[in-house]
Structure 1
Amino acid sequence: MSVIYDLEHITTYRYQNPVTFGEHRAIFLPNMGFGGRILSYSLETNIPCEMRWMMDTLSNNVTLLTFSQPAKELIVTYRMRGEHFGIPAIADFPLDHRAEEIPVQYTPDEWNDLSSFIRPHTEDPEGHLAAWTKHFVAGDQDNTLDVLHRMMDAINQTLTYQGREVEGTQSPAETLRLKSGTCRDYAWLMIEALRRLGLACRFVSGYLYDSALDGGEVGMTGSGATHAWVQVYLPGAGWRAYDPTNRITAGYDLIRVAIARHPGQVIPLSGSWFGETGDYLNMDVHVSIRKLATLPEFDESQAIPMSTPL
């Protein structure tokens, strides 16, 4: 089964007086892989703009925007229609024996490829993160999936989700101290904790689709918005999704756009402007995701053999 959906992401910056804009960097277009396909997309701005597309070091799709005139308002509108095949359950991909218990044993080739995702990125001078992490491992050998689920559940159940308009991501120690955070803070805490257990983890930025919104109901935390979660590399299963904000590991809710070693690498839209300090008024972000159709599973009995001429 797959889901066809429409996505719209509109970012608006407002200023007291006309300002000029430096280069902006947009990361909106998903790198779908086997998880789906892009049917159509567009990126528009309200003022003249030159767009250049590139892939960054992690193969994320990046758009570089160069503006040619000043304005009091900058509006960047991204639209996409996509097909999402969903994230299969971990049971569909049994772990290699060397991944069943912590510490996971990576091969030399895996270690070379994954080392930047295994090394912790943040400092922990007072040891609060390390102490918190130790609570999830009882002895020399712990079932890997049990540890992952215990940590995900602990973040979901013991911390308070608190949205904020200030850009950026809290340090894991700050999230533990405040006992609250956004989806980005939750994901970053789990990533840096798991890295201290020797697991390869990466930060994922994307969107959270929630079918409840289609019926006008109250959705999941952070639904209908940009979202962040964790991917953990487990030999035999590959990169597996863990969303501590909503306790999601499979299904159709998570639509991946980009991956990173740390949150600062995948800000959806970033750039500079030039004017007086008091010119900046505010920023507004509107995201909507609407399901158009659900397609049935592919019936292999109806497939045309490769040797049959069309």
Structure 2
Amino acid sequence: MSVIYDLEHITTYRYRNPVTFGEHRAIFLPSANYGGRILNYSLSTNVPSKIRWMMDTLSNNVALIEFSEASKELIVTSRLRGEHFGIKAITEFPLDERAKEIPVQYTPDEWVDLAMFMRPHAEDPDGSLAAWTKHFVAGDQDDTLDVLQRMMDTIWNTMTYQMRDTEGTQSPGETLRLQSGSCRDYAWLMIEALRRLGLACRFVSGYLYDAALDGGEIGMAGSGATHAWLQVYLPGAGWRAYDPTNRITAGFDLIRVAIARHPAQVIPLAGSWFGEAQDYLGMDVKVSIRKLASLPEFE
């Protein structure tokens, strides 16, 4: 079964006086993959602009926006109609024998391809991340899926979700110290912990579709907004999603837009402006995802 959905992402910047804008980099358009397809897409701005597209080193779709006028307000609107096929449960993708226990045994070719996703990126000056990670591999033979599930459950059960509008991502050590964070903080903590166990992991930016929102109910953490989770490469299963914010590993909820080695590579919208520092009044982001139809699965 697949889901047809409409997605609208509106970012608004406000200034006290007209300011000029440098080039902005926007990552809103999902890359084509087996999990879905794009039916219609548009990217527009209230300020006259020129938009050109490129594919970055990880094959993410990036729009580069050049503005030609000054303004007291900048609005960037992304609209998408897509078909989402979802992700089936891990149990339907049996692991190779070499992936069933940690440390996972990657082939020489996999090592070459996955090296940048296996190398830890964040520092661990006080050793708190290493100490936390060791709790999940106390035995001589640690079942890979069990370790992944227990780590995800621990984040979900012991930490407090906190939506943050501030830029940037907390370091794993800071998230452990605060015992709280946003979806991107949770994902980054789990990624860096798993990399220290020899697993290839990548950061994923996208959206969380929650059917509860269609009925006006309270949705999952991070739903109706940009969302972040991680993917782990498991031989035999490939890249599998893990969302520690909501304990999701399958289903129709996660709509992938971009992948990265670290969170700073896939900020949805980033750029510069020129004016007095006190001119900046703030930013608003509005995201809406609406299901249009469910289609039966082809035999």
Q: TM-score, normalised by structure 1?
A: 0.96
Q: 1:258-299: CA deviations, max 9, x gaps?
A: 000000000000000000010000000000000000001113
Stretch moving more, 282-291 or 161-170: 161-170
Q: Which amino acid aligns with 2:180?
A: S
CA deviations on 1:101-136 (whole Å, 9 max, x unpaired) are 000000000000000000000110110000000000
Given that residues 32 and 257 in structure 1 are in contact (C-alpha distance below 8 angstroms), is that contact kept between their aligned partners in structure 2?
A: no
Q: Is the 8 A contact 1:187 1:244 kept in 2?
A: yes
AA matched with 1:122: A
Q: Report if the CA contact (8 A) 1:202-1:230 is conserved.
A: yes
Distance 1:79 1:90 in 2: 31
In terms of Rg, which structure is larger?
Answer: 1
Q: In structure 2, the residue corresponding to 1:23 is in which secondary structure?
A: strand
1:123-272 pair list within 5 angstroms: 123-272=123-272
Q: Using the alignment, how far apart are the partners of 1:264 and 1:191 within structure 2?
A: 14
Secondary structure of the 1:256 match is strand
TM-aligned CA deviation for residue 140 of structure 1: 2.6
Matches of 1:165 and 1:41, distance apart in 2: 26
d(CA) in 2 for partners of 1:114, 1:184 = 21
Counterpart for residue 45 of structure 1: 45
Residue 30 of structure 2 aligns to a residue whose secondary structure is coil
Aligned equivalents of 2:257, 2:163: Cα separation in 1? 21
Partner Cα separation in structure 2 for residue 149 and residue 159 of structure 1:
15
Runs (4+) off by over 2 Å: none
AA partner of residue 2 (structure 1): S
SS in 1 for 2:217: coil
Give the aligned residue type for 2:149.
Answer: H
Runs of at least 5 residues in structure 2 that lack an aligned partner in the other structure: none
Q: Is the Cα–Cα contact under 8 Å of residues 38 and 83 in structure 1 kept in the other structure?
A: yes
1:208 and 1:235 map into 2 onto residues whose CA distance is 26
Are 1:201 and 1:232, in contact at CA under 8 Å, matched by a contact in 2? yes
Query: Aligned equivalents of 2:125 and 2:291: distance in 1?
Result: 46
List aligned pairs for 1:21-40, cutoff 5 A.
21-40=21-40
Summarize deviations over 1:148-187 as a string: whole Å, max 9, x none: 0000000011000011221110000000000000000000
More deviation in 86-95 or 260-269?
86-95
CA drift at 1:139: 2.0
Whole-angstrom distance in 1 between the partners of 2:9 and 2:64: 17
In structure 1, C-alpha distance between the alignment counterparts of 2:241 and 2:264, rounded to whole Å: 20
Cα displacement (A) at 1:194 = 0.2
Match of 2:296 in 1: 296
Q: Conserved in 2, the CA contact under 8 Å of 1:32 and 1:256?
A: no
Q: What is the CA–CA distance in structure 1 between the aligned matches of 2:291 and 2:88, rounded to whole Å?
A: 19
* Structure 1 unaligned blocks of 5 or more: 300-310
Counterpart in the other structure of 1:15? 15
* Residue matched to 1:282: 282
Q: How many residues align?
A: 299
Q: Does residue 85 of the first structure (1) align with residue 85 of the second (2)?
A: yes
Equivalent residue letter for 2:179: K
RMSD: 0.5
